[in-house]
Structure 1
Amino acid sequence: MWKRIQAITNYRKTSPSCDSDAALPDALNDFYVWFEAQNNTEAENSIPPQNDQVLCLTVAEVMRTLRGVNPRKAAGPDNIPGRVLRECADQLADVLTDIFNISLSCIVVPTCFKTTTIVPVPKKSTVSCLNDYRIVALTSIIMK
């Protein structure tokens, strides 16, 4: 049906091209490379003061959140699709609850949750400069 609609409306898929400037891919790489810089700072464990109450998540809260994950969202750098998190919420809730609670009690976010994948997305069909792109940072769905 979609092919027929495309034929009737004379739909032609246009892909962004940068034929006019052969140096554009190199310029993009140089521009976005600073996002990929390694963070070499060590995570420091902090002990909360004695009178502070540490936030603690329950398995039910984590399971409810996992079941509410949008399966159409793009997977982040961990390549775990939202559909897997949603469908396997019962099995993953216990493990993720432990990870989240340990992270909250130690006041440290695991390094693997901090990584992102930077994707330049064209704003226009014809790309001529770096400003014709917008940055999309794909973060792990578990981190969100």
Structure 2
Amino acid sequence: MKKLRTRGTTPELKEEQMDHIVKTLFPAHTNSIARPTPPIAEEQIEPFTVDELLKAAKTLKRKKAPGPDNIPSEVLKVIAENRPQILLDMYNACITSGTFPDTWKVQRLVLISKGKGDPLTPSAYRPLCMLDTTGKLLEKIYDEIFHLDMPEDTTIVGYADDIVAVITARNTEYAQRKLTQERWTAEERGRWTARLLPNLVAWSTRKHGDLDYYVTQMLTGHGYFAAFLYSIGKRKVARCIYGDAEIDSAEHTIFQCEKFGPARICLEEVVGIITPENIITKMIDSEAAWKLIAGFVENILRAKKPDLDETAG
């Protein structure tokens, strides 16, 4: 708080000046795609418990500015301790319906002057955004439920926000216990990655091979692939730009596209036939194979990028 007090006070700004500053600091994203979540049947999930609510409520920090609803964390703590069912009914309705209320996504914005620069320019301010504490408490309950207590020598590596994390640790038995093969196989998201990485323990304990920008694209399916770019509104069609497939996915580009057939043949003459089911195994088994396959992936994606940029899609 002392640091905030030393900053210059925010000057009086006209409405159009304030509007310009806010729009510059928070540009609109017109290509976002709404993905509605279907309701979840009650028998598929376990409702939140009082213990989970109380544990999460204890983590709420005191003396913090509230969001648009003006409900401070101290009030939620009191409700959780004395009338927990009020909050549980609300939060369990959220998970049963598969929703996170839009009102909890709205933030109260405060512009804090940096005390230097032209006060009419966006760079002169540090934005402070405050969410409703009621929504924060729901997020904390989720955090408590899905949190993995990891030893100090363990790290978690995530490849994309829709793919389960891979745990790497010196104690592989502990990592395997925390992220079992059964859970990975049953997980519905990240199925492309699951085809490439059927054995998480072998992957997390490999002795060689660093991930780079291009191998990560292959693992996630997110990158220079028309189908992915179409899904996020960056292209109008999902077709391969070289005209040999209606869906240009990571699988098509790396394993099927005729454009890269000669390079693929050269690679397979050394490492053998590559498929989504065996390519990572080949990379893990041999450091030389890792370098060759990673180089192949990098070369074709580097070659493809300017061709993607030149086509309107």
Where does residue 78 of structure 1 map in the other structure? 69
- Residue deviations 1:78-129 (CA, integer Å, cap 9, x gap): 100112122332234211111111111111112322221111122x213412
Q: Quick one: distance in 2 between partners of 1:90 and 1:17? A: 39
Counterpart code for 2:61: N
Where does residue 10 of structure 1 map in the other structure? none
- 1:68 to partner: Cα distance: 2.8
Where does residue 98 of structure 1 map in the other structure? 89
Where does residue 32 of structure 1 map in the other structure? 22
Where does residue 59 of structure 1 map in the other structure? 50
Contact 2:115 2:124 in 1 (8 A): no
Q: 2:98 aligns with which of 90, 94, 107?
A: 107
Q: Quick one: distance in 2 between partners of 1:49 and 1:64? A: 26
Change (3 A) 1:84 1:18: closer
Structure of greater relative contact order (alpha carbons < 8 Å, 6+ residues apart) = 1
Change (3 A) 1:115 1:14: closer
- Equivalent residue of 1:88, what SS? helix
- Equivalent residue of 2:68, what SS? coil
Q: Over alpha carbons, which structure has the higher Rg?
A: 2
Q: Quick one: distance in 2 between partners of 1:134 and 1:33? A: 14
Where does residue 136 of structure 1 map in the other structure? 128
- 1:65 to partner: Cα distance: 1.7
Change (3 A) 1:83 1:49: closer
Contact 1:75 1:140 in 2 (8 A): yes
Q: Does 1:16 align with 2:9?
A: yes
Query: Over the residues paired in the alignment, what is the CA RMSD in angstroms?
Result: 3.5
Q: Quick one: distance in 2 between partners of 1:62 and 1:92? A: 11
Q: Quick one: distance in 1 between partners of 2:41 and 2:53? A: 26
Q: Quick one: distance in 2 between partners of 1:106 and 1:43? A: 14
List runs of 5+ in structure 2 lacking aligned partners. Answer: 1-5, 29-33, 137-313
- Equivalent residue of 1:69, what SS? coil
Give the structure-1-normalised TM-score: 0.66
- 1:43 to partner: Cα distance: 9.9
Q: Quick one: distance in 1 between partners of 2:41 and 2:48? A: 19
Name whichever structure is richer in helix by fraction. Answer: 2
Where does residue 219 of structure 2 map in the other structure? none
